[in-house]
Amino acid sequence: MENLLGYTKNMLEDYFVNRGEKKYKATQVFEWLYRHGEYDIAKFSNIKKSIITTLQTDFTTDFIKIEKVLEGKDVKKFLFRLLDNEKIEAVLMEHDYGLSVCVSSQVGCNMGCRFCESGRLKKVRNLEAYEIVEQILLIQKHIGKRISSVVVMGIGEPFDNYDNIIRFIKIINDPKGLAIGSRHITVSTCGLVPKIKEFSNLDLQVNLALSLHGATDEVRNYLMPVNKVYNIDTVITTIKEYITKTNRRVTIEYVMLNMVNDRDSDAYNLARLLKGMNVYVNLIPYNATSIGEFQKSSQERIAEFGKILKQEGINVTVRREFGGNIKAACGQLRSESD
């Protein structure tokens, strides 16, 4: 059996059409799930009995569970227990423009970035689309408010779970689904080139972020093993093609590590690499992990680094720090309990 909450409207339309039913039934199902929050298929009262029975034999609407909620200033971290007892985390952030959620895409992660806690546990499995959708549904229910933006920046490499991420995006973006606008959805990748190319062909209009973190192969090889497969030149060329094709601005994420990638020369190298591209750099203050190898760049250093980028004509912002004291910040999420 499959979980109904992992089906896009198109998939459901095909499902109904294949059974000789009208397409619009898919919309009715979506309205039950996402407008009324009704997950008991038996209660889909405008749908005839025979179809209810078919739906019940083909689908569950089982939910993952909130195991624990930790609260910090303007932030809540949710630990979820999946149906097979694996664990993941998601983070709710309150901004002045609304509520955003950072969802996980995998149990563990295989990318092995040196500065990131999430990869300490190697990938156990991909999350199914419904498990990503439900992170949002459960958080909305818990706080009684609507989520207005979503970032796929939790545990896992989304493009290593490509098909489920696309399903997830289509479900939350659907006007009859969670109706989260494409401009309010951001997917962040460590740079899986073939998937970035595939993504550029989809015309989804969502935001793409690239975790770059180094401006030379020497630095990036050290920090991110993925660079040995898709080096800086390859990934930047791919991002340029993506921008040309989609006409969309890309975010370049750059974690600021004291004396590792935060020197003036790194800023000049980064500026040279990105010159003329429709990107903006998001500098991320490093958050401590159990690995202990790195230190955070000072605020002054981050400001100075940003100033150089600006002088060189590169748009730059510094990421607001959320949830460090409850281990809910970038790079601190885990699939294991203490």
Active-site option among 102, 109, 190, 330: 330
Q: How far apart are CA 309 and CA 287, in angstroms?
A: 22
For 58, half-sphere exposure in the C-beta direction (CA atoms, 13 angstrom radius) is: 14
The residue with its CB nearest to ligand SAH is 331
Which parts of 90-129 interact with ligand SAH (CB under 6 A)? 111, 113, 115-116
CA distances from 300 to 116, 151, 213, 254, 307 (A): 23, 28, 19, 16, 10
Total binding residues toward ligand SAH, as defined by CB under 6 A: 18
Residue 20 beta carbon to ligand SAH: minimum distance, rounded to whole angstroms: 42
The pair of three-digit structure tokens given for residue 258, joined into one six-digit string: 């004291």
Q: Please indicate whether residue 71 is annotated as part of the active site.
A: no
Question: With binding defined as CB under 6 A, does residue 302 bind ligand SAH?
Answer: no
Is there a contact between 249 and 239 (Cβ–Cβ < 8 Å)? no
Residue 331 beta carbon to ligand SAH: minimum distance, rounded to whole angstroms: 2
Question: With binding defined as CB under 6 A, does residue 211 bind ligand SAH?
Answer: yes
Interface pick for ligand SAH out of 131, 134, 157, 262 (rule CB under 6 A): 157
Question: With binding defined as CB under 6 A, does residue 89 bind ligand SAH?
Answer: no
| Bridge pairing between strands 185-189 and 149-152 | parallel
Question: With binding defined as CB under 6 A, does residue 214 bind ligand SAH?
Answer: no
The pair of three-digit structure tokens given for residue 329, joined into one six-digit string: 């910040």
* E strand segments, the chain: 2-3, 59-60, 65-72, 75-81, 87-95, 98-102, 106-107, 125-126, 149-152, 185-189, 207-211, 250-256, 279-285, 315-318
Q: What are phi and psi of 296, to 5 degrees?
A: -65, 140
Angle at 332 between CA 326 and CA 338, to 5 degrees: 70
Name the residue nearer to ligand SAH (CB basis): 126 or 289: 289
Q: Please indicate whether residue 198 is annotated as part of the active site.
A: no
Interface pick for ligand SAH out of 5, 103, 153, 166 (rule CB under 6 A): 153
Please identify, among the stretches 48-56, 60-68, 177-185, 283-291, the one whose residues bind ligand SAH according to the rule CB under 6 A: 283-291
Name the residue nearer to ligand SAH (CB basis): 59 or 115: 115
Question: With binding defined as CB under 6 A, does residue 286 bind ligand SAH?
Answer: yes
> What are the catalytic residues?
89, 330
Site residues (CB under 6 A) for ligand SAH? 111, 113, 115-116, 153, 157, 188-190, 211, 253, 255, 284, 286-287, 289, 330-331
